[in-house]
A and B are shown apart, each in its own frame.
Chain A
Amino acid sequence: MSALFEFLCRQGDSTLILGQRLGEWCGHAPALEEDIALANVALDLIGQTQMWLGLATEVEGAVRDADDLAMRRDVWDFRNLLLVEQPNGDFGQTTMRQWLFDQFHVLQLERLCDSADDRVAAIAAKAVKEVRYHLERSSGTVIALGDGTEESHGRMQAALDRLWPYAGEMFESDAIDAELAEAGIAPEPADLRAPWDVAVDATLAEATLTRPESDFTQTGGRSGKRHSEHLGHLLAQMQWLPRAYPDARW
């Protein structure tokens, strides 16, 4: 298993799982306009998944395709961040999760645009345009709801407190990251922490939200060592059809 394959699975699995989570809002969002916007973001992320996992299978040697990776692996093989598998909760929690990830995602993709691997750079160049809009939307909503009514402020602060322990995993660097950084393919996640902190603090100030004091971090998603209990339920919902009808076609 090459480091590049592992990295591509981490990229594709995070976008896949977050896309699936956002898809759960389809038909349930608080306003028609939000419903369509969430579905658009979800579809962007699924599109990026096709590119990341597609490249992963190419790197692996084309023994299986992106659909196989998405639909025929189980929890222990997924390499997504713990943050993105957390349940939607209320609309505030979904928005908070999205914003914490979007802010990281933009910084990461901007660096990946300069990747030594042309295929990685090409995917990042396409994705970063979509993700800049995701960030514009989610940060705008975090500010509107954080600096909104007493109720919306309380819900956003609760969402931030709840999700904060999952933010730190985005900046963990391990041997795989070191190998990719050495080869100039991807940045060390730890290097993204400082610019993320600056951007996050600025938005939190505007949203009148208080950054949690503890930087305790849950870990185990992108290494695959320990996912939260929520991922299995998500996969059951996402994968039942292709598993029950393996040859199903549109």
Chain B
Amino acid sequence: MSNHASTPYPGTEVPDGKTKAEWPLWEIFIRGQHGMSHRHVGSLHAPDAETAIRNARDVYTRRNEGVSIWVVEASRIAASSPSDKGPLYEPSESKVYRHPGFFDIPDDVGPM
């Protein structure tokens, strides 16, 4: 028999050493029937990755939405900071020439 001692789930420790009785949060990405890439659809709680996929199947694919599920532990996602908005994004606002809209596309190329 394995050890039944309660161990905290990674990422659920709180500073004073006590364990929160919470499952970790997982971000859910689903590739739809006709989608080329996985899209973020929401998040849910689960004790491990396998259970997170099963939960995602039940919560997010009830209406035949998906053909593939990715789950990522929310704490493992690195995100840009909202306060960095200016330096990160404003410089590109004034550079319209970066959009590929300045070419004439021949008709026989068809839809791009």
Interface residues of A (CB under 8 A from B): 31-33, 36-37, 40, 133, 136-137, 140, 144, 147-150, 152-153, 208
Can you name 26 A-B residue pairings with CB atoms under 8 Å?
A31-B23, A32-B45, A33-B44, A33-B45, A33-B46, A33-B55, A36-B55, A36-B62, A37-B54, A37-B58, A40-B62, A136-B54, A137-B54, A140-B50, A140-B51, A140-B54, A144-B47, A147-B2, A148-B4, A149-B4, A149-B5, A149-B6, A150-B6, A152-B4, A208-B1, A208-B2
Given the known interface contacts A140-B50, A144-B47, the answer about A33 and B2 at a Cβ–Cβ threshold of 8 Å is: no
The residues of B that contact A140 with a CB separation of less than 8 Å are 50-51, 54
- Bound Cα distance A140, B62 (Å): 20
B59 at the interface (CB under 8 A from A): yes
Going nearest first, the 4 A-B pairs with the smallest beta carbon separation are A33-B55, A37-B58, A150-B4, A208-B1
Q: Which residue of B lies closest to A149 (CB)?
A: B6
Q: Which residue of B lies closest to A40 (CB)?
A: B58
Interface pair A37/B4, CB less than 8 Å apart: no
The residues of A that contact B51 with a CB separation of less than 8 Å are 140, 144
Chain B nearest CB from A139 CB (Å) reads 11
* Of listed B2, B50, B54, B58, residue having the most chain A CB within 10 A: B58
Taking residues whose C-beta sits less than 8 angstroms from the other chain, chain B's interface range is 10 to 19
- Bound Cα distance A40, B60 (Å): 12
The residues of B that contact A37 with a CB separation of less than 8 Å are 54-55, 58-59
Chain A nearest CB from B12 CB (Å) reads 14
Q: A-facing mask of B36-63, CB < 8 A → 1, else 0?
A: 0000000011111011001101110010
The residues of A that contact B6 with a CB separation of less than 8 Å are 149-150
* Apart from the given pairs A33-B59, A36-B59, 4 other A-B contacts in the complex at a CB distance below 8 Å: A33-B55, A147-B4, A149-B6, A150-B5
Interface pair B4/A31, CB less than 8 Å apart: no
Chain A nearest CB from B4 CB (Å) reads 4
- Bound Cα distance A33, B47 (Å): 11
Chain B nearest CB from A231 CB (Å) reads 28
**Interface residues in B55-83 (C-beta closer than 8 Å to A):** 55, 57-59, 62
The residues of A that contact B47 with a CB separation of less than 8 Å are 144
Given the known interface contacts A140-B50, A144-B47, the answer about A33 and B4 at a Cβ–Cβ threshold of 8 Å is: no
- Bound Cα distance A38, B23 (Å): 18
Chain A nearest CB from B15 CB (Å) reads 23
Q: Which residue of A lies closest to B54 (CB)?
A: A137
- Bound Cα distance A31, B47 (Å): 11
The residues of B that contact A33 with a CB separation of less than 8 Å are 44-46, 55, 58-59
Interface pair A31/B1, CB less than 8 Å apart: no
The residues of A that contact B55 with a CB separation of less than 8 Å are 33, 36-37
- Bound Cα distance A182, B30 (Å): 47
The residues of A that contact B57 with a CB separation of less than 8 Å are 133
- Bound Cα distance A32, B55 (Å): 10
Q: A-facing mask of B2-33, CB < 8 A → 1, else 0?
A: 10111000000000000000010000000000
The residues of B that contact A153 with a CB separation of less than 8 Å are 4
Chain B nearest CB from A151 CB (Å) reads 8
Chain B nearest CB from A53 CB (Å) reads 24
Chain A nearest CB from B2 CB (Å) reads 6
